Amino acid sequence: MKNIALSVLTLVFVIACPKSVLADDPTSSYLPVSPLRSFLPPSSVQSVIFEVWDQAAGGTTVSTEAHLVDTDESSNIANDDGFSDLLLGRPGGLDSANFPPGSSRYLDVTQGGASVLNARRPIYAAAFSISPGLQGPPGPTSSHRPR
């Protein structure tokens, strides 16, 4: 009975393992984006460019990514085509050099060089994010020795 249970567990692991290896791994190098209200056609699949800027208007483009996205019945960009969520950095992850500590970043979505949003969206930092920030000063050393 023990051998049968072990065999079944091994079989489940072998079958599930390739899926987890091929799955999109949403780590700190990806940025989840809420559905974005857009001017795109409703209930459609659209080719767009996600752009990260250093200012809310004007400024310099920090990075760009081409995406195939789905819109819902209200024209909200809801997810990357074929995925259940909308992640900036897909595929391969974001480059942390584009997000230095203390910098502000804004998201725009364009199609044919024109924005499909009414304004750029600020990108907010998360508790565990793509840039660790500056290292603080070292803490005090202790003369206490463990017993």
- CA 145, distance to chain mean position in Å, is 44
| Interval 11-54: pLDDT, tens | 334 344 343 344 555 566 888 888 899 999 999 999 999 999 99
Q: CA 52 → CA 62, 64, 90, 136, distances in Å?
A: 5, 6, 14, 28
Domain boundary assignment for the chain: 31-95+103-129
pLDDT of residue 67 exceeding 60: yes
Q: CA 32 → CA 5, 16, 46, 132, distances in Å?
A: 39, 25, 19, 18
| Interval 99-131: pLDDT, tens | 888 899 999 999 999 999 999 999 987 655 555
